Amino acid sequence: MFWDLPEVGHRSATQIFVVSHQFWQVRLGGAPDVVGSTLDVNGEIVQVAGVTPLGFNGHFFAITHAIWMPLTQRQFWRRNPERLTDRGDRVVNVLARLAPERSLAQAQAETDALFVRLGEQFPESYGERGVGARIVEFRSLPQGTGGRTTIARLAVLLGTLVGLVLLVTASNVAGMLLARSASQGREVALRMALGAS
């Protein structure tokens, strides 16, 4: 955590954050009235809008988060805050929960209609390039988006690396034992000549 969070209070806030369960427990003392309270983050007063459930960590593998914030709060971005205003940038992955009465096909149709309107409004960014979005279930996210398929690929890679390390270690130990026995060859021959068993 690279932010200085010196105090929790109830002052007027213009920004909102959602904090992780661990951050709430460790840094904020598990206070039951934390929702609605404010934090001083780098000199900015922010309001705690919620706490994530225990065990929730977003959709990225092996990356832990302490807070989540709306994309519009650019003053908290440490690197390249101008990316949010660049319509050609592809920095954002969006996760959403479908309403109970909605299907993936309906969500895809609404998203396609949205990009048609964006293409009409901003043809230099969306119209000619055929930019759009594909709606998929989280468990079937394509490779490279931080989903479960990426986790499976990383697990296979990690298992392969562990196997290679074990193979190299075993061959090194075997080589050392062979070298040791070869260096003791004369000594063993002498002992046998003197009648040792």
Q: What is the pLDDT of residues 53-84, one digit of tens each?
A: 887 777 666 677 888 887 777 666 666 667 76
pLDDT for the residue 162: 95
Lowest mean pLDDT among 8-12, 18-22, 140-144, 157-161: 8-12
Give residue 161's pLDDT band: very low, low, confident or very high (50, 70, 90).
Answer: very high
pLDDT for the residue 165: 95
Residue 140 confidence (pLDDT) above 80: no
Interhelix angle 148-183/185-193, rounded to 10 degrees, is 40
Over the chain, what is the mean pLDDT? 77
Residue 44 confidence (pLDDT) above 80: no
Percentage with pLDDT > 70 across the chain: 74
